[in-house]
Amino acid sequence: MSVAVSIDELSDEELDTVAVEFAGTAPEEVLAWALDTFSPDIAMATGFGLEGCALVSMIAGLQRPVRIFYLDTDLLFPETYALRDALESRYGVRFERRATNLSLTEQALRYGDKLWERNPDECCRLRKIEPLRQMLSGLRAWITGIRRQQTSTRAAARVIERDPQFDLVKINPLVSWTKQDIWRYVRDHEVPFNPLLNQGYESIGCVPCTTPISIGEDSRAGRWRGQNKVECGIHLQGNGR
Ligand code: SF4
C-alpha cells in the first residue's frame, strides 16, 4: 500500500479514498504503513484494553521504534498498572506516562470531592483530554485501538481519518475487527490482558467510573454507569461521519 503525496496535504475527501483503499488490510500492514508515513511524528495511545494489548504485540513484531503512551489519571485499577508492567517486560517496550499536574488532592480542593460523580466531563477534561492534547501537539498522527463495534459513537470510524478535535491524522488499525477477532489474536499470540476482563468487566477505565456489565449489555455500559456519558471525549466523532 503506498500513497504518493504527503498525507498532510490530502483533503478530507482524499483521506476518505485512502481509508477505502485500506479497508480489509491487515492491522500489521496498516501499522507498517503508518510508521513509514509519519515517523517520527506518530505515537500510539493505549488504555491497556484488549485492543491496545494486541496492538502492542503487533508493533513489537514490526521491530520498529514507536512511542506508546498512556493517560494516567491516578485512578486506574491496580490490575491495569500490573498489566502495564507485564507488557513492558514481555515486549521490551517502555510506555510514556502522560498525566495532569493536578493531584487528586488539589483537584478535590479546587473542584470539590469526587468530581467524577458530579461532573465527569470536567474530570475527564482535566485528567485525560488536556494531557492528551499536550501529547498530540507536535505529532502528525496517532494510533488508537478503537473498533466500530464498541459503541454507536464509534460506528462510523475509519481505519484512517482526520481527527479534527486534535488536528492530526488518526490511525485505527483494528477498526473493523470484531470482539471475537481480538480475542482470537490475543489467545493465538498469548498476549497478556487485564484479568478484570474475566470478572465481568468489558471496558476498563478509572476505578470510580467502571463497573462490570451484565449479559446482553453494550460493551461500554459499565463506564459512567447511571450517567449520560459513554465517551471520555478522546474519541469524539468530530468529522460529522
Ligand atoms: Fe474522572 Fe471518571 Fe473520567 Fe477517570 S473516567 S477522568 S475518574 S470522570
CATH of the domain at 110: 3.40.50.620
Instruction: Confirm whether 230 is domain-assigned.
Output: no
Q: Give the total number of structural domains in the chain.
A: 1
- Out of 53, 206, 209, 232, pick the active-site residue: 232
Ligand 1 nearest atom to the CA of residue 205, by list position: 5
CB 99 within 8 A of CB 72: yes
Instruction: Confirm whether 220 is domain-assigned.
Output: no
Per-residue pLDDT at 155: 82
Give tens-digit pLDDT for 117-130: 999 999 999 999 99
Per-residue pLDDT at 127: 97
Instruction: Confirm whether 68 is domain-assigned.
Output: yes
User: Which three three-digit cell numbers place residue 70?
Assistant: 498512556
* 38 CA → ligand 1 middle, Å: 31
Statement: residue 238 has pLDDT above 50: no
* 59 CA → ligand 1 middle, Å: 28
User: Which three three-digit cell numbers place residue 141?
Assistant: 498522527
Domain that holds residue 69: 7-209
Instruction: Confirm whether 219 is domain-assigned.
Output: no
> Which amino acids bring their CB within 6 angstroms of ligand 1?
73, 75, 116, 120, 123-124, 127-128, 205-206, 208-209, 232
Q: Quick one: DSSP state of residue 126?
A: I
Q: How far is CA 198 from CA 17, 55, 166, 221, in A?
A: 39, 20, 34, 16
Report d(CA 232, CA 124) in Å as an integer: 6
Give tens-digit pLDDT for 146-162: 998 887 778 888 999 99
State residue 42 phi and psi, 5-degree precision: -145, 150
* 202 CA → ligand 1 middle, Å: 17
The order of strands in the sheet holding 141-143 is: 96-98, 67-71, 42-45, 141-143, 168-171, 160-163
Ligand 1 nearest atom to the CA of residue 208, by list position: 7
Instruction: Confirm whether 132 is domain-assigned.
Output: yes
Best residue for ligand 1 mutational test, from 80, 98, 111, 116 (most atoms within 8 Å of Cβ)? 116
**What DSSP letter does each residue of 150-206 carry, written as one string?**
G-GGGTT--SEEEETTTTEEEE-TTTT--HHHHHHHHHHTT----GGGGTT-SS--B
- The better pLDDT of the pair 62, 8 is held by 62
Give tens-digit pLDDT for 173-221: 999 999 999 999 999 999 999 999 999 998 899 999 999 988 888 777 8
Ligand 1 nearest atom to the CA of residue 116, by list position: 8
* 120 CA → ligand 1 middle, Å: 6
CB 128 within 8 A of CB 135: no
53 is catalytic: no
Instruction: Confirm whether 239 is domain-assigned.
Output: no
Q: Quick one: DSSP state of residue 227?
A: S
Query: Number of helices (H) and strands (E), helices first, in the chain?
Result: 9, 6
